[in-house]
């Protein structure tokens, strides 16, 4: 090894820099030493003497190496220490962040983040072609007769079908013929239906939007990214869900509660638990199929998830899952900071004694009451003693004016006891077929009422954070307006009779399941005496059925002559809760 190589080797061992940097330093040092040596050689020194002199001039390799190390970055040991320090800092910061999120706030649902555990796919947008557009029959108990969501109607001549079209439910994917009746504009109807109505948008303009309030919904699967509520969704969990694609029901109720254009509380946070409500037990499914086979077309045997829950749906529901949903909401709530606690849970179904899980869901509601959470379900009159019903509205009437609304009398309870009337029919909601799709539902159900109430309660929580369900209801009734019964569409005696026949048969069938034929007869004659004050006549079973249906129809008609119902007036309600 030459002196030059030996010097460079010593210098290399003194360097504590990256290999690439060491190469640069050694190359530069070699260049310097060679230049210097060449100059000395020109002055008369031998190569060895010149190299030796150049090396001496350059200085001690250890001292030079240390100086070059300092100039070219930190010492490797120092770098290791620095890296270790950085790791420690990150660990400490991570622990502090964890402490902040899990211990201090005890939540993993921070602002801007969410607990969305799955993203169900959008529902199918188009449906098979219709051979003709059905006619709306007002004498039928089922008002959902013209549902043309996703249908292609372009081949139909609808010029003379205005009255039918005004009873139709449709969506963004309904394809209309070019020629429609002049006064029928689907776009206008859909736009008008977007308003929650009754002055709610005026409240929004005043900043009463539900901001800072959280509510929950337990319902069917959601399209989590829909533009209406996607940004308000803080949590989405599937607890007991059988749907792979988003359901029209879940999407609609979420948008009615917190939708940015169609919702009552567009700035409230939403926690959503998906529950299909149905039992996992196969026996009721088999029973339903058997009923359908035995009596095809019988509405009492049609289980549908898209309409007001029928008796069959209730029979097939398992409310133990609903109870678990409520308890899950309470569990999440305990982890949220006090100011972001969930104040209401909307559940778009009701339960009754004897149903599967009735005891569990009732207990869960009681627990929610203790924890300050208002469970708003179709069973509100049973769980809280608070009665409500939905309001009808003609599609082209102004949704802001109370006079546009009328109480629905084709179904639901009478008005002989205090009750709140809530917008329900002719509503536009988010649709499950795409993130910016909408659907217009000409006829609604209590499923459209409970999320409305939850949204309204969120607004009340914003203006009066210490509000209770009882005070909310009391003030809502106090400030509500009496409906104009003169605009209520008349219900035909035939329709009431039809409805009572279904009710009579259901009661009789249920009694038959529990008692013998003699016991059933005794019960029915007692009911007759109770209703009429007269003993039941000695007639055949079929004749008795007809008589009893007439009696029930009389009672039903009387219930609707009461004057205790009040249309909710959100503006007056908020003023009463938080007077200026």
Partner 1 sequence: MKADPQLVKGTVRLLVLQLLARESMYGYQIIQHLRGRSEGYFQLGEGALYPLLHELEHQGFVRPEWQDQENRPKRRYYHLTGKGGKELARRLEAWRGFTRAVDSVLEARYV
Q: Smallest distance, Å, CB 28 to partner 1?
A: 5
What string marks each residue from 19 to 58 as x (binds partner 1 by CB under 8 A) or -? -----xx-xxxxxx-xxx-x------------------xx
Burial of 563 (0-12, 13-18, 19+ CB in 10 A): exposed
Q: Is 64 in the site for partner 1 (CB under 8 A)?
A: yes
Q: Is 89 in the site for partner 1 (CB under 8 A)?
A: no
Q: Smallest distance, Å, CB 6 to partner 1?
A: 16
Q: Is 18 in the site for partner 1 (CB under 8 A)?
A: no
Q: Which residues ranging from 545 to 564 are in contact with partner 1 (CB under 8 A)?
A: none
Around Cβ 31, how many Cβ atoms within 10 Å?
10
The interaxial angle of helices 493-514 and 517-532, nearest 10 deg, is 140
Of 60 and 482, the one with the shorter C-beta distance to partner 1 is 60
Give the binding range for partner 1 (CB under 8 A) out of 69-77, 235-243, 298-306, 562-570: 69-77
Q: Which two tokens stand for residue 210?
A: 């539900």
What string marks each residue from 484 to 523 as x (binds partner 1 by CB under 8 A) or -? ----------------------------------------
Of 36 and 559, the one with the shorter C-beta distance to partner 1 is 36
Kindly calculate the radius of gyration of the chain based on its CA atoms and give it in whole angstroms.
37
Torsion of CA 254, 260, 262, 267, to 10 degrees: 70
Q: Is 67 in the site for partner 1 (CB under 8 A)?
A: yes
Q: Which residues ranging from 380 to 439 are in contact with partner 1 (CB under 8 A)?
A: none
Interface size with partner 1, residues (CB under 8 A): 24
End-to-end, the C-alpha distance of the chain in Å comes to 96
**Closest by CA position to 491, among listed 140, 135, 134:** 140
How far apart (Å, rounded) are the C-alpha atoms in residues 391 and 405? 6
Give the binding range for partner 1 (CB under 8 A) out of 66-74, 112-120, 212-220, 396-404: 66-74
Query: Binding residue for partner 1 (CB under 8 A) from 9, 73, 159, 188?
Result: 73
Q: Is 68 in the site for partner 1 (CB under 8 A)?
A: yes
Of 63 and 84, the one with the shorter C-beta distance to partner 1 is 63
Q: Is 295 in the site for partner 1 (CB under 8 A)?
A: no
Q: Smallest distance, Å, CB 55 to partner 1?
A: 9
Give the binding range for partner 1 (CB under 8 A) out of 64-72, 377-385, 416-424, 561-569: 64-72
Query: Binding residue for partner 1 (CB under 8 A) from 63, 202, 289, 539?
Result: 63
Q: Which helix (H) or strand (E) holds 575?
A: helix 570-577
Of 29 and 322, the one with the shorter C-beta distance to partner 1 is 29
**Contact in structure between 329 and 271 (CB atoms under 8 Å):** yes
**Closest by CA position to 29, among listed 65, 2, 63:** 65
Of 30 and 116, the one with the shorter C-beta distance to partner 1 is 30
Q: Smallest distance, Å, CB 85 to partner 1?
A: 21
Of 68 and 251, the one with the shorter C-beta distance to partner 1 is 68
Q: Smallest distance, Å, CB 84 to partner 1?
A: 23
Own/partner pairs for 63-72, CB < 8 Å, 24+ apart?
64/11, 64/14, 65/10, 65/11, 65/12, 65/13, 65/14, 65/15, 66/14, 68/11, 68/15, 68/17, 68/25, 69/14, 69/15, 69/16, 69/17, 72/17, 72/21, 72/25
DSSP 154-222: TTS--TT-HHHHTT-BEETT-B--S---TT--HHHHHHHHTS--TTHHHHHHTT-S-TT-EEEEEES--
Of 70 and 206, the one with the shorter C-beta distance to partner 1 is 70
Query: Binding residue for partner 1 (CB under 8 A) from 14, 41, 72, 521?
Result: 72
Of 31 and 304, the one with the shorter C-beta distance to partner 1 is 31
Around Cβ 560, how many Cβ atoms within 10 Å?
18
Q: Smallest distance, Å, CB 30 to partner 1?
A: 6
**Contact in structure between 331 and 201 (CB atoms under 8 Å):** no
Q: Smallest distance, Å, CB 213 to partner 1?
A: 54
How far apart (Å, rounded) are the C-alpha atoms in residues 519 and 120? 50
Q: Smallest distance, Å, CB 31 to partner 1?
A: 4
Q: Is 76 in the site for partner 1 (CB under 8 A)?
A: no
Q: Which residues ranging from 322 to 381 are in contact with partner 1 (CB under 8 A)?
A: none
Q: Smallest distance, Å, CB 63 to partner 1?
A: 8
How far apart (Å, rounded) are the C-alpha atoms in residues 569 and 580? 17
Query: Binding residue for partner 1 (CB under 8 A) from 59, 337, 489, 537?
Result: 59
Write down the residue that tokens 């009721």 correspond to.
284
Around Cβ 251, how many Cβ atoms within 10 Å?
31
Q: Which helix (H) or strand (E) holds 324?
A: helix 319-335
How far apart (Å, rounded) are the C-alpha atoms in residues 400 and 197? 5
Q: Give exposure, 139-158, as e/b (b: 16+ Cβ within 10 Å).
A: eeeebbbbbbbbbbbeebeb
What string marks each residue from 177 to 216 as x (binds partner 1 by CB under 8 A) or -? ----------------------------------------
Q: Which helix (H) or strand (E) holds 293?
A: helix 282-294
Of 32 and 529, the one with the shorter C-beta distance to partner 1 is 32
Of 68 and 264, the one with the shorter C-beta distance to partner 1 is 68
Residues found near partner 1 in the complex (CB under 8 A)? 24-25, 27-32, 34-36, 38, 57-60, 63-64, 67-68, 70-73
């Amino acid at each position: 090894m030459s002196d030059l190589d030996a010097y460079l080797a010593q210098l290399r061992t003194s360097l504590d820099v990256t290999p690439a940097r060491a190469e640069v330093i050694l190359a530069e040092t070699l260049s310097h030493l060679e230049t210097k040596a060449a100059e000395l050689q020109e002055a008369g020194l031998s190569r060895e003497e010149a190299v030796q002199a150049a090396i001496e001039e350059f200085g001690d390799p250890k001292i030079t190496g240390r100086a070059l190390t300092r100039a070219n970055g930190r010492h490797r040991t120092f770098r290791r220490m620095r890296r270790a320090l950085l790791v420690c800092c990150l660990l400490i910061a991570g622990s502090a962040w964890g402490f902040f999120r899990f211990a201090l706030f005890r939540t993993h649902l921070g602002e801007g983040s969410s607990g969305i555990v799955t993203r169900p796919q959008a529902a199918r947008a188009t449906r098979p072609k219709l051979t003709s557009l059905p006619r709306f029959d007002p004498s039928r108990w089922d008002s959902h007769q013209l549902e043309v969501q996703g249908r292609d109607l372009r081949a139909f001549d609808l010029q003379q079908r205005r009255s039918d079209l005004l009873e139709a439910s449709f969506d963004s994917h309904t394809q209309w013929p070019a020629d429609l009746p002049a006064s029928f504009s689907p776009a206008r109807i859909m736009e008008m239906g977007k308003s929650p109505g009754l002055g709610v948008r005026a409240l929004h303009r005043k900043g009463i939007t539900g901001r800072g309030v959280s509510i929950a919904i337990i319902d069917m699967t959601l399209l989590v990214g829909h533009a209406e509520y996607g940004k308000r969704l803080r949590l989405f969990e599937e607890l007991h869900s059988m749907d792979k694609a988003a359901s029209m029901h879940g999407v609609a109720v979420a948008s009615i509660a917190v939708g940015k254009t169609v919702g009552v509380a567009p700035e409230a946070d939403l926690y959503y638990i998906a529950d299909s409500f149905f039992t996992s037990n196969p026996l009721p499914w088999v029973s339903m199929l058997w009923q359908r086979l035995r009596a095809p077309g019988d509405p009492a045997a049609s289980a549908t998830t898209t309409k007001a829950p029928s008796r069959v749906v209730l029979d097939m529901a398992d409310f133990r899952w609903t109870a678990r949903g409520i308890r899950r909401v309470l569990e999440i709530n305990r982890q949220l900071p006090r100011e972001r606690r969930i104040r209401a849970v909307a559940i778009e179904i009701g339960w009754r004694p004897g149903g599967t899980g009735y005891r569990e869901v009732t207990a869960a509601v009681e627990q929610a009451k203790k924890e300050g959470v208002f469970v708003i379900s179709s069973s509100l009159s049973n769980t809280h003693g608070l009665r409500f019903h939905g309001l009808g509205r003609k599609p082209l009437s102004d949704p802001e004016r109370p006079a546009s609304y009328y109480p629905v009398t084709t179904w639901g309870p009478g008005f002989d006891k205090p009750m709140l009337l809530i917008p329900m029919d002719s509503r536009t909601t988010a649709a499950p077929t795409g993130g910016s799709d909408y659907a217009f539902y000409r006829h609604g159900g209590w499923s459209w009422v409970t999320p409305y109430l939850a949204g309204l309660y969120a607004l009340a929580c914003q203006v009066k954070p210490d509000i209770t369900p009882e005070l909310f209801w009391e003030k809502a009734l106090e400030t509500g307006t009496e409906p104009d019964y003169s605009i209520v569409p008349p219900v035909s005696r035939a329709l009431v009779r039809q409805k009572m026949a279904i009710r009579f048969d259901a009661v009789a069938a249920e009694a038959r399941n529990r008692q013998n034929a003699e016991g059933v007869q005794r019960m029915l004659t007692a009911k007759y005496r109770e209703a009429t004050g007269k003993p039941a006549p000695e007639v055949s079973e079929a004749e008795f059925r007809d008589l009893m249906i007439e009696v029930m129809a009389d009672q039903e008609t009387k219930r609707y002559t009461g004057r205790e119902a009040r249309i909710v007036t959100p503006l007056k309600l908020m003023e009463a809760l938080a007077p200026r």
